[in-house]
Amino acid sequence: MSFDSLGLCAELLSAISSQGYTTPTPIQSQAIPVIFEGCDLLAGAQTGTGKTAAFALPIVQMLSETTIRKKRRSPRVLVLVPTRELAAQVSKEMQNYGRRLSLRSTMIYGGVNIRAQIERLHRGVDIVVATPGRLLDHAERGTIKLSDVEFLVLDEADRMLDLGFIDDILKVVEYLPWQRQNLLFSATYSQSIKQLADELLDQPRRIEVARRNIAADAVVQAVYPVERNRKREMLSHLIRKGDWNQVLVFARTRYGADKLTDELLFDGIQAAAIHSNKSQSIRTRTLAEFKRGELRVLVATDVAARGLDIERLPHVVNYELPQVPEDYVHRIGRTGRAGEDGVALSLVCPEEQQRLLAIEKLLEYTIPRQMIAEFPQIAVKRGRKSQAKTSKKGKGPSKPKKKPAQQKKQAPAKKRTPAKPTTSRRGKVEAAKVAPKLGRRLSRTKPRS
C-alpha cells in the first residue's frame, strides 16, 4: 500500500515525502481509512509503530476541509498524552503537517509557567496537545474553551492510567461536546483500558498492530548477569569497549539516575540524567544534546523516557530492571525504531531474578545470557529453556533465533465486568479504583449543560 492510496491531500503527501517516509506503517494503513470514515477507533499500538502520523494526518486533513470562520479560533482537536516529552513529540508532528494547511497547534503541560500558555490559547489555536492535569487547570480557570472540540485522541492511554490521570481525564471529558470523534491508542489492553474505551468510544473500530518493539528482527536483546555492586563498572566497560556513542540507560529511581550519572562522569564518560525532578528547560536541553550526539549517555527514569523519540537509537541499557514487566517492552522500544536494528542489554543482579522471570514470561521468550571475561560468572537462572544460543564470550549479543510471540488477540470486552486490581506501584491506579469512576455517565451520554 502507498500513501497515495490513502486519500491524503497533496500538501500532506509532500510533507510525508519530505520526512522520508515511503510506505505507510501497518497502523497508518489501517487507521487512516477508519478515521476518514468518521468512526471511533480503539487501536492497540505502541510508540515506535508510527501511530502519531496515523492519527495526525487524517485529523489535520479533515480539519482543513471544514474551515470554520470565527473571530477567534478555539481548539477543534484535543490530544491527551501522559508526559511532556510525548506532548512535544506529538505536537511537533501536528505542527509539521498542520502548518501546511494553515492550522495552528499548541502544547499544554505542567511544570512551566501557565501565563505563556494562556496567551497562546487567547491568540487562538486549532489543535491542542496536552497532559491531563494542566489542561484541567486551564478548563477550570476558563482559559481554554473545549466546547468546539471535534476530535479527542487519547494517546498512550494505558500509560495515562498508570500515572494516575484517570480522574483528570474524566473531568476534562465533561467539558467536551457530546458529538465528537474519539480515538484511543494504547500499547496494552488492561481491564481499565477496556472500561475507559467502553465509556468514551461509540461503537469503535478495533485495530491491533504487532508489538514491533519486541520483534526479534528489530531489537537484539541480552542479559548480562552481574553483582549489583559491579554494575556501574560493567556499564562503563561495555560503553568503552563497544565504543558506544549514543546510549540510553534506564534507572529505576530519580536518585539512582543522578547517582549513576555522577559515577559515569567520574569514569570520564559524558552523561546526563533526565527525570521528573529536573526542570522542563533542562530536560529539553539535555534531550536536544543527546539527539545531536553531543551527549554519550542519557540516564532516564521510565516516566521521563516515555515518548522520547530519538531516531536510530542504537543502544538501550537496563541498568536496573523495571518493576512492571510492560515497562521493559516500552524501554527497549526506544531502540530498533523505524526499521533500524538496535541492541537492548540488561545488567541483572541476583536480586532481580524475579523481575527477569516476569519479563521473560510476558515476552514468552528467554533473553540470551552473555558473559564478559573480565567479570566473574554469576548465576541468574533461566525461566525456560533458552531459545537462542549465546554468542562467544565478550563478542556481544547474538540475534535471538525465535521470534517472541506477538501480542495476543484480545477477546471482546465485556461491559462492566469487575476490574482485577493491578500490581501496586507508586502512582499506579488500581483497576478496581478506576471502575466505579467510569461507571458514572460521561459527557457522551450526558451533555454538559
Beta-carbon contacts of 286 under 8 Å, excluding residues fewer than 6 positions away, are 272, 273, 274, 278, 295, 298
* Span from 49-57, 189-197, 265-273, 397-405 in contact with ligand AMP (CB under 6 A): 49-57
* Span from 19-27, 115-123, 349-357, 420-428 in contact with ligand AMP (CB under 6 A): 19-27
DSSP structure class, residue 203 = S
- Kindly state whether residue 48 participates in binding ligand AMP, applying the rule CB under 6 A: yes
- Kindly state whether residue 246 participates in binding ligand AMP, applying the rule CB under 6 A: no
* Span from 20-28, 70-78, 199-207, 341-349 in contact with ligand AMP (CB under 6 A): 20-28
**For ligand AMP, which residue of 231, 337, 355, 444 counts as binding (CB under 6 A)?**
337
* Span from 18-26, 72-80, 104-112, 292-300 in contact with ligand AMP (CB under 6 A): 18-26
Q: Least separation, in Å, of the C-beta of 211 and ligand AMP?
A: 12
Q: Where are the beta strands (DSSP E) in 73-115?
A: 77-80, 105-108
Please name which of 399, 374, 396 lies closest in space to residue 388, comparing C-alpha atoms.
Answer: 399
**For ligand AMP, which residue of 51, 278, 283, 444 counts as binding (CB under 6 A)?**
51
Look up residue 324 and give its three cell numbers: 512492571
- Kindly state whether residue 50 participates in binding ligand AMP, applying the rule CB under 6 A: yes
CB of 112 or CB of 310, closer to ligand AMP = 310
Q: How far apart are CA 139 and CA 164, in angstroms?
A: 19
- Kindly state whether residue 91 participates in binding ligand AMP, applying the rule CB under 6 A: no
Cα maximum dimension of the chain: 71
274: three-class secondary structure by DSSP: strand
Q: Least separation, in Å, of the C-beta of 186 and ligand AMP?
A: 13
- Kindly state whether residue 311 participates in binding ligand AMP, applying the rule CB under 6 A: yes
Q: Phi/psi class of residue 389: alpha, beta or left (left: φ > 0; alpha: ψ in -120 to 50)?
A: beta
Question: What is the SS3 assignment for 352-403?
Answer: HHHHHHHHHHHHCCCCCECCCCCCCCCCCCCCCCCCCCCCCCCCCCCCCCCC
Please name which of 83, 96, 355, 414 lies closest in space to residue 228, comparing C-alpha atoms.
Answer: 355
**For ligand AMP, which residue of 6, 8, 15, 25 counts as binding (CB under 6 A)?**
25
Q: Least separation, in Å, of the C-beta of 338 and ligand AMP?
A: 4
* Span from 48-56, 201-209, 376-384, 434-442 in contact with ligand AMP (CB under 6 A): 48-56
DSSP structure class, residue 249 = E
Burial of 341 (0-12, 13-18, 19+ CB in 10 A): middle
* Span from 24-32, 116-124, 215-223, 409-417 in contact with ligand AMP (CB under 6 A): 24-32
Q: 63 and 77 in contact (C-beta within 8 Å)?
A: yes
CB of 162 or CB of 360, closer to ligand AMP = 162
- Kindly state whether residue 213 participates in binding ligand AMP, applying the rule CB under 6 A: no
CB of 49 or CB of 318, closer to ligand AMP = 49
* Span from 4-12, 17-25, 403-411, 438-446 in contact with ligand AMP (CB under 6 A): 17-25
**For ligand AMP, which residue of 47, 83, 213, 246 counts as binding (CB under 6 A)?**
47
**For ligand AMP, which residue of 29, 52, 221, 422 counts as binding (CB under 6 A)?**
52
Note the residue count of the chain.
449
**For ligand AMP, which residue of 53, 146, 176, 207 counts as binding (CB under 6 A)?**
53
- Kindly state whether residue 21 participates in binding ligand AMP, applying the rule CB under 6 A: yes
- Kindly state whether residue 24 participates in binding ligand AMP, applying the rule CB under 6 A: yes
Amino acid letter, residue 216: A
Amino acid letter, residue 361: K
**For ligand AMP, which residue of 40, 168, 208, 309 counts as binding (CB under 6 A)?**
309
Please name which of 398, 399, 361, 400 lies closest in space to residue 382, comparing C-alpha atoms.
Answer: 361
Type and span of the H or E element at 326: helix 325-332
- What is the binding site for ligand AMP (CB under 6 A)? 21, 24-25, 28, 47-53, 309, 311, 337-338
